[in-house]
Structure 1
Amino acid sequence: MDLNHLQTFRAVACDLNGQMRGKRLPAISASKLDQGGVRLPYSVLNVDIWGSDIEDSPLVFESGDADGMALPTERGPVPMPWLENPSAMVPMSLYHDDGTSYEGDPRHALGAVLARYQARGWTVQAATEMEFYLVDDSDEALTPPINPLSNRRINSHAILSMRQLDAFDGFFTALYDACALMDIPAQSTISEAGLGQYEIDILHADAMRAADNAWLFKTLVKGLARRHGMAATFMAKPFGDDAGNGMHVHFSVLDADGNNVFNDGTDTGTPLLQQAVAGCLNAAHGSTLLFAPHANSYDRLVPGAHAPTGISWAYDNRTALVRIPGGAPVARRIEHRVSGGDINPYLTLAAILGAALAGIEDGATPPAPITGNAYDQDLPQLAPDWQSALTAFETDPFMARILPGEVIRNLCYTKRQEIRRIDALPVEDRWKVYLETV
């Protein structure tokens, strides 16, 4: 995309909470992007969910809040179709002045995991299922949106309803058009279980591009909903008595010849598949904070609420945390089902793919796959609450194998501040913090 015809563009990087941080720049600055002309404080990727500096962060006090060099990612400029005036954003990653990657950048964390696959001659293909709600936030409590055809508020569940999809045809038509402009391969849309809840599948791609797609898609959906007189949210649990939002991740691994290393021509899959599953299960407890990063996340992550909490795997069983979908063996893949819609896509994919690779490196063996309802079985569990998840993440040896120490340290600082500040808010006001930030 040519930036020269625009008045301004945005240079943006992803912080640890998955939010966009950066600068609005005149088009003349585009020529300096590849030369390190955009500089950002390292600490900006480690602000809290409100965008505030971390009070006791060593990034500020030890380094003097130094700047890093922001450089464009391979994604390149993308349009911003939700804005009234034509503009574009350029996704960036943060580097030191000597050209080495800044380890506190979540996109680099995923890149480091993928580099380990590449060292084996492998590439990872990944896809995401993105769930979100359309909501009315014009009052002091969230409510379902107004049906544009009837001008009445949605008041009944409509799983896989074409009528409810068609009622919001203007929004979804604009969304598909915008996805095409942004090169986000949106696939099927369904009306989900919640009032005003929808799911859109994003087609599989190289894992880094899949993470980019998820990150950009969340920003697009929220921005476009506002242009249609609504809000959209990826909060894990916008309504306490309704379904939560998840982001399921599917992935497979290809060798240098393009062959799926999980495929042995049977429904069972290869030993490498079993090892990858074992790695995902072994790291699940310590990864809980990445799958459920906010206070609201734990309203979704409760037994029996269609979000797996027991650490198990199964063939074609949606109650398990890790599912091996059916279908042709050539497409054999792993589906990781626990993440909320409120996650940072780069950190989530880094945790999942890093855990799978750790299982392969260890030659790990998973327990027997479960049958029946996982919620009725005595299984090891994810961390049960936010504080427990933070402690597990900080101390788990699998996390130290998967993520850079700077990401682990900084995310813990960020989450401790978020916990303190959220605890000081009335419960009924907490949705206002998360509605469009996650």
Structure 2
Amino acid sequence: MSSEFEAFVAGHPDIAYVDGLFFDLCCVVRGKRYPIGDAETLFAEGMQIPESIALLDVTGDCNDPLGRGFSDGDPDCIAVPIPGTLCPIPWGDVPSAQVMLTLMTQQGEPAMVDPRHILDRVARRLRADGLAATIAVELEFFLIDPERGPGKAPQPPISPVTGRRDTRTQVYGMADLDDFQVFLRAVERACLAQGVPAFTASSEFAPGQFEINLKHVGDPLRAADHALLLRRVVEWVAERHGFEATFMSKPYPDQAGNGMHIHLSLTDEAGRNLFDDGGAQGSDLLRHAIAGMQAAMAESMAIFAPHANAYRRFAPNRYVPVNASWGYNNRSVAFRVPASGGNARRIEHRVPGADANPYLVLAAILAAAHHGVAQRLEPGAAFMGNACETVDRALPWTWRRALEEFGAGSILREYLGAEYVDLYKATKWIEMEKFQAVIAPHEYAWYL
């Protein structure tokens, strides 16, 4: 990428620093900052960095999962720039740029610990069968006041227009967009500067909650890149405007949670949408893919809901899936087929939380869809009415049980690789035990 870097510098002569960054298992942004005079080495040689960096838990600890970290001497891998990702950072006080990195072994092979390579592994398997995925991601988030409420709980932001704390729940309300239009406009400008194809925003089901949609792209890796870069943009722009932004699955116990909705269609090598057969119901392939998602849902929950808080999002009558149902034009199901037909025929996967890792979420969804297509599975009848009323207790709705199902499953183990499944489970299991070792304030209030 040396030539790309040289062309970028020529077009941006004021750039002082270049950040080489990547997103770890928990979506934390990590990397190094290079003065512009030294940045050429990043593009020519890459960056030496411990391979265990991709296996840190959410607190930033290396817990030596399966002997990776302290036990093996913590060896370096090489983080190399991803072509086409070098762009300006529009929110900094000092003119800077960033480039996304991916992890490689010292022998130049994809490092198995990098979630981006896990997604690439699944995408390659689809391509080997003449299939490609077109994907769009929708992300929900909350703007919150930097000042915490009682018990350090978040609280809704103060409106820049009214000066009052936001307490409204007006889904799709235009007044909410008007109140925060300066923030949303800044997000739009930052996305344009960074090549993130965000195109619509809406207010959602809780005070200070918004959703931003990303355009469909024909490359699953870029779709996941865009989702993570959008998160980074929203968080930084929020801070610059006196707010904080959180993609936490369930920051308020009595309000809606934050979801990550994935819109997926499968195409052939000519770009023809294989989910559409010209009829009103979609193709057999569409139903096979849905059936695969149903079959893999239990073992995928540890990826869709990667921590304790994420399971608080799943509750009856919250427009959140509580079973593996599917249906047409029905937001109460887990796997929705929107009303659009023709080339727009697609599945909306509504299970993941907004704080899940998009690389792993897409890897799990594509693996499940391919499994269903390869096995010609059938999903049963489309659900009519409210599917949110009845919780399927056969599915894992706790963190511990989800990790157990993940480790014992066969579908994701085949597609993601047994070694990565075991590493992910070990990393998250240790994180879970650390979380459960902390005594919460209400435990003292109830039992002391």
1:119 deviation in Å? 1.3
Please state if 1:221 is matched with 2:230: no
C-alpha offsets along residues 94-135 of structure 1, whole Å, 9 cap, x if unaligned? 111211111111000011111112212332110011100000
Change (3 A) 1:363 1:169: same
1:62 deviation in Å? 4.2
Change (3 A) 1:300 1:35: same
Change (3 A) 1:381 1:74: farther
Aligned to 1:76, which of 62, 85, 92?
Answer: 85
Inter-partner Cα distance in structure 2 for 1:409 and 1:62: 17
In the alignment of these two chains, the number of paired residues is: 429
Change (3 A) 1:422 1:82: farther
Inter-partner Cα distance in structure 1 for 2:441 and 2:124: 44
Inter-partner Cα distance in structure 1 for 2:420 and 2:314: 24
SS in structure 2 opposite 1:23?
A: strand
SS in structure 2 opposite 1:189?
A: strand
Match of 1:123? 132
CA contact (8 A) 2:320 2:350 kept: yes
CA contact (8 A) 1:311 1:380 kept: no
Aligned to 2:17, which of 8, 11, 15?
Answer: 8
Inter-partner Cα distance in structure 2 for 1:406 and 1:428: 38
1:56 deviation in Å? 5.0
Higher mean displacement: 369-378 or 357-366: 369-378
Aligned to 1:385, which of 395, 398, 405?
Answer: 398
Residue 198 of structure 1 aligns with an amino acid whose one-letter code is F
SS in structure 1 opposite 2:188?
A: helix
Match of 1:416? 429
Please state if 1:172 is matched with 2:184: yes
Inter-partner Cα distance in structure 1 for 2:188 and 2:65: 43
Match of 2:213? 201
Match of 1:152? 164
Change (3 A) 1:208 1:169: same
Higher mean displacement: 299-308 or 273-282: 299-308
Match of 1:269? 282
Match of 1:41? 50
Inter-partner Cα distance in structure 2 for 1:46 and 1:83: 29
Aligned to 1:360, which of 361, 373, 380?
Answer: 373
1:45-64 equivalences under 5 Å are 45-64=54-73
1:381 deviation in Å? 4.4
Match of 1:329? 342
Match of 2:96? 87
Change (3 A) 1:316 1:397: same
CA contact (8 A) 2:403 2:425 kept: yes
Change (3 A) 1:152 1:261: same
SS in structure 2 opposite 1:375?
A: coil
Match of 1:340? 353
- Which has the bigger relative contact order, CA under 8 A and spacing at least 6? 1
1:380 deviation in Å? 6.3
CA contact (8 A) 1:36 1:70 kept: no
Match of 1:29? 38
SS in structure 1 opposite 2:227?
A: helix
1:368-407 equivalences under 5 Å are 368-377=381-390, 379=392, 381-407=394-420
SS in structure 2 opposite 1:151?
A: coil
CA contact (8 A) 2:16 2:94 kept: no
Q: How large is the RMSD of aligned CA atoms in angstroms?
A: 1.7
Inter-partner Cα distance in structure 1 for 2:302 and 2:33: 32
TM-score when normalising by structure 1: 0.94
Please state if 1:236 is matched with 2:249: yes
C-alpha offsets along residues 297-326 of structure 1, whole Å, 9 cap, x if unaligned? 011022332210201111111111111111
Inter-partner Cα distance in structure 2 for 1:309 and 1:300: 10
Residue 116 of structure 2 aligns with an amino acid whose one-letter code is R
Inter-partner Cα distance in structure 1 for 2:438 and 2:109: 40
Change (3 A) 1:146 1:262: same
Inter-partner Cα distance in structure 1 for 2:195 and 2:224: 13
1:35 deviation in Å? 3.7
1:423 deviation in Å? 1.8
1:313-328 equivalences under 5 Å are 313-328=326-341
Change (3 A) 1:290 1:132: same
Extract unaligned runs of 5+ from structure 2.
443-448
SS in structure 2 opposite 1:376?
A: coil
Inter-partner Cα distance in structure 1 for 2:291 and 2:253: 33
Please state if 1:304 is matched with 2:317: yes
Change (3 A) 1:188 1:209: same
CA contact (8 A) 1:314 1:324 kept: yes
CA contact (8 A) 2:65 2:427 kept: no
C-alpha offsets along residues 391-422 of structure 1, whole Å, 9 cap, x if unaligned? 11111001112212332122222212221222
CA contact (8 A) 1:265 1:330 kept: no
SS in structure 1 opposite 2:261?
A: strand
Change (3 A) 1:106 1:180: same
Higher mean displacement: 375-384 or 207-216: 375-384
Inter-partner Cα distance in structure 1 for 2:312 and 2:365: 22
Extract unaligned runs of 5+ from structure 1.
430-438
CA contact (8 A) 2:318 2:388 kept: no
Please state if 1:190 is matched with 2:194: no
Inter-partner Cα distance in structure 1 for 2:158 and 2:393: 42
Inter-partner Cα distance in structure 1 for 2:56 and 2:342: 44
Match of 1:67? 76
Residue 398 of structure 2 aligns with an amino acid whose one-letter code is D
Residue 191 of structure 1 aligns with an amino acid whose one-letter code is S
Inter-partner Cα distance in structure 2 for 1:298 and 1:342: 12
Inter-partner Cα distance in structure 1 for 2:180 and 2:58: 30
Higher mean displacement: 259-268 or 117-126: 117-126
Match of 1:162? 174
C-alpha offsets along residues 367-392 of structure 1, whole Å, 9 cap, x if unaligned? 22211111335746431100001111
Match of 2:117? 108
SS in structure 1 opposite 2:407?
A: helix
